[in-house]
Chains A and B, each alone.
Chain A
């Protein structure tokens, strides 16, 4: 959630235009909760997060209560905007560091969601967690309330790399947290970041092996993105830290795919690997399938019925609006059909199932020339094309944006 996009002003009542409700038919409904707090800010991070020194601890204490009000508000908006009532298909707590809040806070939020919308049976309820901020009793409390999955921000197993990223967690705590999660019966995932300045291919191999040794069902691996405005970007600009090398990134990606495949993981989205279809992140799949979701909390993005909006970033401003029963949305955009289609290509191209070629052709995308070129350049699988799907090859995953451009131009 770096720079917000440019949108039109969002209405104070938060109401969603009527025609938008129509496009929600056949779409599942999901909830994302953004907890904007961190113990310390990492040098690479441009997410909407605040340390307690920055905003004081008071808002953190009332956060759950404020968020619960947004849940009530959202139910009113959906109802007044003539949306059919839908149970939640996934719930995801992200941040920031959701686990900086007491487990009880996460639980009351989840309970509120359940009482207002209802939960689909067997749904995936995940929280992100910092390895330093969870222990067995904390995780047990979540499990008892219905949470199914925990995603640990591991990033790297190499102290030197963690230092560059300014991650403060103790690497040994990752294994402890995963073991505790498994013990209480939660599914586990770890996030890794590769391509940090000074990180070698050997370092990366070590981190991958450590992640594999944790014996989780799911691993996400992201190449480091140097976002403007971050401390890391300033350090690179001033020459203090070396510019990440894109070719090395490619080597690292290929190494990840090779190592993870060899131990039974399957890549199902550019940056995500899972042991089975069932252990994928169902919540993230909802994003990639252009489903409806409400993002709660400061700076959270929502996408409901062809409308996208984003909340004010500052927690105090967010709280102020919620207290006054004003929509916390700062701006929104009504996504027209053309852009909706473009987003679909952009997102579905990234997933393993790929995107339907016949649908692409109907929208005027994927000229025969472009598809032929993509096959020739070995960016998409020829075999899949013959059965009507565009699926990226390994090489194509590294050039996914280029493939998307070729498909839509």
Chain B
């Protein structure tokens, strides 16, 4: 079998029969990027010299964390039984926060490689994406990766996969992305089993946008999958959702570096450049057609990205506010799902209320802001969206706990999720305890193979956004995996807990919690603040309150001594310099009423103890 094709099929003129579009579904550290690297090398599109680890993960954060945030497509030639084929590998984001993007990537494929770590087995995250792939009628190719590892148990997990998707354990391919074993077989198998794309070459053009990336040199690069008809260079194109018309400045395929082509035909995957500067003008899921001969009906599946989690983001140094604004504007160019609006906090000053697809999205955005724009930030505790109905039937949407109405509340709806947790069976008890403590209601429990269990719970999203994952990991020694999907709204018995310093409410610390947890939150927060806020010259009561009712109280004793005992000739300069230093320090103090609170206290109080989790390593 000849591994490498000697010639390539010319884009825009490729017979769809010889095209295979596939993606790889895998959990974060199961080796997707490494496998993709091997494919790039084996097919010869990247030579050995320019190969770098995780070639497709362009952002530093992606490479460091070993996760793919933005998907891309690579066209690779491969010869099978004397016929040259064009394989389009579409790299999908691997995280639950990006489910919508995943679903669009899947919609661009006919097949999916289900990649599972032969030492760990399938994870909840992968199950979710596998489910989406099956919904899209994709042909699934089960593959066990990392068979070179001493801890690999390919028989066990092949059995598990067969159990899950049907078929025989023997059908499961065994590869090692690291050594390259089995990768050529996998490429052949893709050609043999994945159906070729089908479309009408003579119909008006319809291309589905599955990714849209901002590039500071080229503007927005839009990745599309041609469904019907064709697009060619220099044509005018129309975005069907907005009817906006753009000039097609460049069209091409990634291999994996961009290669301009004359156009794209049925079933092909490639990129478009129109000179627009904002990804919102080129939305994932939208349909591209030609302006001259527009399609009548858009491809189905488009929806606007919807934030699930909100957090206030504030610069530590108030004078960085304009830089933060600019930074958000820039990130927005490449991330249509990021939403934000200015917000003022008594405690934290000027900042932005930002909406995110989920917790990882929040983490990635704050990390990018800090790293790429050199900002020091405080993010308030993440909050979900509450739909509040007042007694007078007025409805309010609350994304910030401090805006929670104080009047008579008739009903509060909170977002629910269905959480899927996969774990070795030894930890079932601990997981159940954790979920029940988080208002979880069990849906079902299912065994995979002999020792792995899937638990499904319905629970409020709010219970997941704050340190749930960390607790899950620590209770299961890191073995459990979590996935969740939206599951509508449910009425909750919720209250707002306010924190008062010397009678002044500190907005950044308000939280909406279940009635039964108000006391615990109040005690946790008041105790924490007592330790974090330095003594003042007066006693400072710290209270937690639900409405007018005080539920917890601590107090910081008054500071009684703040004076240098000796101040003679030799002490004066030193003392003055100390004073200057204290004056500098005061700039980092925020006043809450008369109480001076160091910035660090806010940060520490808003950071959960377990939040300092280690960075996930790449594979």
Residues of A within 8 A of B (CB): 1-3, 5-7, 32, 222-225, 246-247, 249-250, 253, 270-271, 284, 287-288, 293, 295, 299-303, 308, 310, 333, 339, 342-343, 346-347, 350, 373, 377, 379, 395, 397-402, 404-405, 408-409
A223 engages B560 (CB within 8 Å): no
CB distance from A378 to the nearest CB of B (A): 10
B189 on the interface (CB 8 Å rule)? no
Tell me the bound Cα distance from A144 to B537 in angstroms: 50
User: Measured between C-beta atoms, what is the minimum distance from B5 to chain A in Å?
Assistant: 70
Show 18 A/B contacts (Cβ-Cβ < 8 Å), sorted by A. A2-B574, A6-B577, A225-B564, A225-B566, A247-B560, A270-B563, A287-B572, A288-B567, A293-B569, A301-B570, A302-B569, A346-B576, A347-B572, A373-B594, A395-B560, A399-B561, A401-B563, A405-B582
B572, A408: Cβ atoms under 8 Å? no
**A401 & B564 in contact (Cβ 8 Å cutoff):** yes
Q: Which residues from A are CB-within-8-Å of B572? A: 287, 301, 303, 308, 343, 346-347
Q: Closest residue of chain B to A284, judged by CB?
A: B568
- Is B561's CB under 8 angstroms from A301's CB? no
Specify the chain B residue showing the minimal Cβ separation from A249.
Answer: B561
CB-CB contacts of B530-547 with A at 8 A, as 1s and 0s? 000000011000000000
Which of B567, B577, B582 is the most central at the interface, judged by chain A CB atoms within 10 Å of its CB?
B567
Report the contact-size class of chain B (Cβ under 8 Å from the partner): 20 to 34
| Shortest Cβ distance from A7 into B: residue | B573
A287 touches B537 (CB 8 A): no
Q: Which residues of the other chain, B, contact A299 by a CB distance below 8 angstroms?
A: 570
CB-based closest 8 A-B pairs: A250-B560, A1-B570, A5-B573, A222-B565, A400-B563, A301-B570, A250-B561, A402-B562
User: B13 within 8 Å of A by Cβ?
Assistant: no
Task: Check A409–B570 contact: CB distance below 8 A.
Answer: no
Bound state CA distance, A247 and B560, in angstroms?
A: 6
Task: Please report the number of residue pairs spanning A and B whose Cβ atoms sit closer than 8 angstroms.
Answer: 104
Question: What residues on B are CB-neighbors of A225 within 8 Å?
Answer: 564-566
Which residues of chain A come closer than 8 Å to B570, judged between CB atoms? 1, 295, 299-301, 310
Residues of A within 8 A of B559 (CB): 246, 399, 402
Q: How far is the CB of A311 from chain B (nearest CB, A)?
A: 10
Q: Taking CB as reference atom, which chain A residue is nearest B565?
A: A222
Given contact pairs A246-B561, A395-B560, A405-B582, a sample of 10 additional A-B residue pairs in the complex whose CB atoms are under 8 Å apart: A5-B577, A246-B560, A249-B561, A287-B568, A300-B569, A301-B572, A310-B570, A346-B572, A401-B564, A409-B583
Instruction: Pick the contact of B579: A246, A249, A377, A404 (CB < 8 A).
Output: A404
Residues on A with C-beta less than 8 A from B560 are 246-247, 250, 395, 398-399
Contact between B567 and A350 (Cβ–Cβ < 8 Å)?
A: yes
Q: Compute how far the CA of A287 lies from the CA of B594 in the bound complex, rounded to whole angstroms.
A: 34
Report B504 CB to chain A, min CB distance, Å. Answer: 15
B566 touches A222 (CB 8 A): yes
User: Among residues 283 to 317 in chain B, which have CB atoms less than 8 Å away from a CB atom of chain A?
Assistant: none
List chain A residues, Cβ under 8 A from B577.
5-6
Within 8 A of A (CB), among B572-599: 572-577, 579, 582-583, 586, 594
Of all chain B residues, the one with the shortest Cβ separation from A224 is B565
Per a CB cutoff under 8 Å, which of B537, B568, B569 touches A399? Answer: B537
Q: Is the CB of A32 within 8 A of B586?
A: no
**In the assembly, what is the distance between CA of A405 and CA of B575, in Å?**
12
Known contacts A293-B569, A404-B579, A408-B579; is-contact A397 B537 (Cβ 8 Å): no
Chain B residues, Cβ within 8 Å of A347: 567, 572
Known: A5-B573, A295-B569. A401 touches B537 (CB 8 A): no
Q: Do B567 and A377 touch across chains, with their CB atoms under 8 A apart? A: no
* B563, B567, B575: most-surrounded residue (chain A CB, <10 A): B563
Closest Cβ of chain B to A95, distance in Å, is: 12
**Which residues of chain B come closer than 8 Å to A7, judged between CB atoms?**
573
Question: Are B576 and A379 in contact, CB atoms less than 8 angstroms apart?
Answer: no
CB of A205 to closest CB in B, whole Å:
18
Q: Closest Cβ of chain A: how far from B121's Cβ, in Å?
A: 50
Q: Which residues of A contact B568 (CB under 8 A)?
A: 284, 287
How far, in angstroms, from A291 to B573 measured CA to CA in the complex?
15
Contact B573 A333 (CB under 8 A): yes
Shortest beta-carbon distance from A361 to chain B in Å? 19
Flag if B561 contacts A32 (CB, 8 Å): no
Q: Are B567 and A270 in contact (CB under 8 A)?
A: yes
Q: Is the CB of B566 within 8 A of A247?
A: no
Q: How far is the CB of B545 from chain A (nearest CB, A)?
A: 25
A400 touches B562 (CB 8 A): yes
Please measure, in the bound complex, the distance between the C-alpha atom of A401 and the C-alpha atom of B575, giving whole angstroms. 10
A398-B561 Cα distance, complex, nearest whole Å? 5
Chain B residues lying within 8 Å of A308, measured Cβ to Cβ, are 572-573
Q: Which residues of B contact A395 (CB under 8 A)?
A: 560
Q: Which residues of A contact B537 (CB under 8 A)?
A: 377, 379, 399, 402
Which of B538, B572, B577, B583 counts the most A-chain CB atoms under 10 A from its CB?
B572
Which residues of chain A are within 8 angstroms of B573 by Cβ–Cβ distance?
5, 7, 301, 308, 333
